[in-house]
Amino acid sequence: MKIDVVTVFPEYLQPLDLSLIGRARERGMIDLTVHDLRRWTHDVHHSVDGAPAGGGAGMVMKPQPWGECFDELIPEAPTGAAGPAKPRLLVTSPAGRPFTQAMAHELAAEPWLMFACGRYEGIDQRVVDYAADRMEVTEVSIGDYVLFGGEVAVLAIIEAVTRLVPGVLGNAASLDDESHTAGVLEAPAYTRPAEWRGYEVPPVLLSGDHGKVDRWRREQALLRTARARPDLLERLDPGSLDKRDRLL
């Protein structure tokens, strides 16, 4: 998978050199490049923003550097060229579509993602409109709160997406039962020792009876979801319920 990130703070994306994403990059599974938007500015101050049209607080990212960035990073592909001609563009914004595990799966199937990190009061809307006439564009939010900019959102999205790319995660089985995959939260997890400071690992987990362990985990998952995220239970597909699931 090819990933490009365009930002005015490339240093913010340094965590992408670490851990499992760093390893996936070293192994060539993820081809990720972070670009400094100021490369496409021409004035001495490398300015990327301007006052909002119509007045108001803050600054808006101006279209010119974004346009030249797209021209360079997404050249018109000659017919018959190998690889995807256009990326799927993700523009981070608190006004975007909510990012979910379902969207992470959708994005993990794309051959090329490009992230445009918004800063200040956002990017001039014409940048999004221009891009949307040429490629698939999704404005995306990681939650109902406002960050200083999109960089942290991009870190979260790239982490959620790349771990779904085949081969990136060592143990793919751990993807099956995790929170949000089946519409419910994951059951609590325990490890050794069996007793710690007077707190015990639930005995069923040490019983060796896989059927009982599975049933216990399912009940705990439903209980946890009912307590922390009742909204998820309301949206649960009735077809995903087992006849032994008691509605809590």
Binding residue for ligand ADE, selected from 150, 163, 168, 205, defined by CB under 6 A: 150
Smallest distance, ligand ADE to C-beta of residue 148, A: 7
Of the pair 93, 138, the CB lying nearest ligand ADE is at: 93
CB 127 within 8 A of CB 66: yes
> Which amino acid is residue 55, in one-letter code?
G
Of the pair 90, 164, the CB lying nearest ligand ADE is at: 90
Please give the C-alpha separations between residue 221 and each of 145, 205, 244, in angstroms, as whole numbers: 27, 14, 14
> Which amino acid is residue 215, in one-letter code?
R
How many Cα atoms within 13 Å fall on the side-chain side of residue 9? 14
Smallest distance, ligand ADE to C-beta of residue 175, A: 24
CA distance 178 to 158: 18
Of the pair 99, 187, the CB lying nearest ligand ADE is at: 99
Please give the C-alpha separations between residue 29 and each of 26, 71, 83, 84, 189, in angstroms, as whole numbers: 8, 26, 15, 16, 30
Smallest distance, ligand ADE to C-beta of residue 215, A: 38
Binding residue for ligand ADE, selected from 8, 30, 89, 153, defined by CB under 6 A: 153
Note whether 199 binds ligand ADE by CB under 6 A: no
**Segment interacting with ligand ADE (CB under 6 A) among 18-26, 46-54, 145-153, 165-173:** 145-153
**Segment interacting with ligand ADE (CB under 6 A) among 63-71, 90-98, 126-134, 213-221:** 90-98
Tell whether 143 is in a known binding site.
Answer: yes
> What are the residues whose beta carbons fall under 8 Å from the beta carbon of 163, sequence distance 6 or more?
20, 169, 175
CA distance 33 to 5: 6
Tell whether 169 is in a known binding site.
Answer: no
Indicate the Cα dihedral angle 14, 15, 19, 21, nearest 10°: -80
Smallest distance, ligand ADE to C-beta of residue 119, A: 8
Smallest distance, ligand ADE to C-beta of residue 193, A: 40
Subset of 111-130 contacting ligand ADE (CB under 6 A): 118
Tell whether 73 is in a known binding site.
Answer: no
Backbone dihedral angles phi then psi of residue 121, each to the nearest 5 degrees:
-90, 10
| Known binding residues | 118, 142-147
Applying CB under 6 A, the residues found at the interface with ligand ADE are: 92-94, 118, 141-143, 145-147, 149-150, 153
| Known binding residues for S-adenosyl-L-methionine | 118, 142-147
